[in-house]
Amino acid sequence: MPKRHIVFDVNETLLDLSALDPVFADLFGNSATRRTWFMSLLHWSTVTTLTGQYMDFSQLAGHCLNALAANHGITLSDTQSQRVFDTIAHLAPHADVIDALDRLKQHGFTIVALTNSAQKTVDTQFRNAGLTDRFDHVLSVDTARCYKPHPNAYAVASDTLGCRPADLRLVACHDWDVTGAIRAGLSGAYVARDARLPNKAGDLPDVSGTDLSEVADRIIAVDG
């Protein structure tokens, strides 16, 4: 059955985190620490969900940044830490995002964002990135008090739309997020950012592509 509601992951899928690389290079001497920090943030969001100790994503991000600094023998000042969060608030969309969103809207799809970030964070990000008006709903999992890939996190989108999980297709560049959505009853679409292949330990979706433009084409072909 065609999926007329498209749910987008935000960070990395829509917004380009590479703008953080020079900040992390300046703070830690190596831009690769940005990926280390982000993976730690995803790890601890999972830990807090599994242990039932929910913590705001921004607060988690701060703890993970401080832990990274401590492991490098660094103490970050408030001003240095704020550089990271100011940059996050002003991330630009990937070059393929605007056209893909507009084409999906033109084909009648409902366009929803669902992020682990706090609502105030994603609202600021979308406003600064010029994305707000392109979405029917911009949602955070914080109302569920758990993080993706928990089924209750995806239910934030289905509850908001008043539909079944099976009526939704999640688009993400994270294989774990796509797998979580599929196992929660949604369909998935994988965007292979940086040519990253999905882990076969997860569930492979029926739609995938090298970038968001290709994924949008395939969604339109399958669900349009």
Q: Where are the beta strands (DSSP E) in 31-184?
A: 110-115, 137-140, 168-172
Helices and strands, number each (H, E), in the chain? 9, 6
CATH architecture of 17-89: Orthogonal Bundle (1.10)
CATH architecture of 5-16+92-223: 3-Layer(aba) Sandwich (3.40)
pLDDT value at residue 219: 97
Q: Which residue has the tokens 């990135």?
A: 129
pLDDT value at residue 81: 97
Work out the burial of residue 86: count CB atoms within 10 Å of its CB; fewer than 13 is exposed, 13-18 middle, 19 or more buried. exposed
Torsion of CA 79, 85, 86, 90, to 10 degrees: 170
198: alpha, beta or left, given left = phi > 0 and alpha = psi -120 to 50? beta
Grouped pLDDT means (10 residues each) for the chain, 224 residues:
86 98 97 98 97 96 98 97 98 98 97 98 98 98 97 98 97 98 98 95 97 98 91
The answer to pTM > 0.85 is yes
CB crowding 183-206: b at 16 or more within 10 Å, else e? ebebbbbbbbbeeeebeeebeebe
pLDDT value at residue 224: 82
The SS3 of residue 151 is: helix
